[in-house]
DNA sequence: TATTGTTATACTCTATAACTATA
DNA sequence: TATAGTTATAGAGTATAACAATA
């Protein structure tokens, strides 16, 4: 039994039945991921930093001197595509590629002084964003639960 | 204190310190989403169906006669890009676009008989995949928890 | 022979502008 | 004027192949 006019007397567009799609885990994961990434882009608009660039900076800071291949691989980025990414960060004087003594084929990645200062700021901005997300989730326990559940799917 | 040789006497590649990145909600969401989508692509390789195409078929089946714009919008797809998607499904005789009587600008979307049979099969394949994911998560309660948490981020 | 960084390239996904035919 | 569908196009993101230098 249809009752079109119950809530919209002027016959607005009917709502679609989305019950089945909203039960699909992959679909919901994607929507949530896009939502969080869009928040990231908005928050980091002034710093002109994309999510992947932030993780690269963090990873270099926590693992100075590593090869491009190592950083790229742990992030699931093809080394061919990582070249452009690192070049961009290098042009902004955030990262430097130092030819390795031990292996002359490889570049050791380091943050510049400017890169360290930039990351310190980015981290504080990011921490506030994460705290906002944790608040949305309902606290640290909920965050832990989420990361735990995501781990089982990865 | 570094103890490189504790577990790798032959001095294999050191593991990177990834603790900070693996604590980032957006990063973990993305990895999990990619993982689930890759599973989908593997499971649906024979049916040659992408995740977005599956949700489109489901949505049309549950909302026959709707306009392209309506289906596209609820999925967050630009109507310009939705054209190609629907054409692909139409060429496979899964979907038909019937010019609307009420609004001659619009196409009403329906599944063909073949599309209904195809979707019935796809649904059963998809159900098995979801059951596998639920098992990984630790049961229906864990699934409910996950969808609940994802909702708060979306 | 294998690996590192690189270039070139192609394919998908996404976003915008502009057109047409209708409303 | 606004909307539905469409086309064209540009920009990201991602994947593979091939090359030079080095291991």
Query: Residues B16-54: pLDDT tens digits?
Result: 999 999 999 999 999 999 999 999 999 999 999 999 999
Question: For the segment B71-102, what is each residue's pLDDT rounded down to a tens digit?
Answer: 999 999 999 999 999 999 999 999 999 999 99
Report the predicted TM-score, pTM, of the whole model to 2 decimal places.
0.92
CA atoms within 13 Å, Cβ hemisphere of A9: 0
B16, A130: Cβ pair inside 8 Å? no
Closest protein residue to C16 using CA and C1' atoms? B80
pLDDT of A9 reads 32
Are B146 and A149 a contacting pair at CB < 8 A? yes
Rounded to the nearest 10°, the torsion over CA A58, A152, A36, A81 is 50
CA B41 to C1' D15, in angstroms, rounded, equals 16
Give the model's pLDDT for residue B14: 79
B67 bridge partner residues: B108
Which segments within A55-106 are labelled E, that is strand? 66-67, 95-99
**A38 Cβ under 8 Å from any chain B Cβ:** no
State whether B59 and A16 contact (CB < 8 Å). Answer: yes
Dihedral pair phi/psi, residue B96, rounded to 5°:
-125, 145
Residue nearest to nucleotide D23 (CA to C1'): A103
Phi and psi angles of residue B64, each rounded to the nearest 5 degrees, phi first: -65, 145
> Which residues fall within 8 angstroms of residue A39, CB to CB, at 6 or more apart?
A129, A132, A133
SS3 A48: coil
């Amino acid at each position: 039994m249809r009752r079109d006019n119950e809530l919209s007397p002027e016959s607005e567009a009917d709502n679609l039945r989305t019950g089945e799609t909203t039960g699909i885990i992959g679909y919901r994961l994607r929507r949530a991921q896009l939502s969080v990434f869009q928040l990231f882009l908005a928050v980091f608009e002034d710093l002109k930093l994309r999510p992947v660039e932030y993780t690269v900076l963090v990873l270099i800071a926590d693992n100075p001197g590593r090869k491009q291949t190592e950083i790229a691989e742990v992030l699931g980025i093809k080394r061919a595509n990582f070249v452009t990414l690192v070049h961009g960060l290098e042009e902004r004087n955030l990262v430097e590629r130092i030819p390795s003594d031990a292996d002359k084929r490889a570049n050791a990645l380091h943050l510049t002084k400017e890169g360290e200062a930039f990351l310190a700021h980015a981290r504080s901005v990011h921490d506030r964003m994460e705290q906002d997300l944790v608040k949305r989730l309902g606290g640290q326990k909920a965050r832990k639960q989420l990361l735990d559940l995501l781990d089982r799917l990865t």
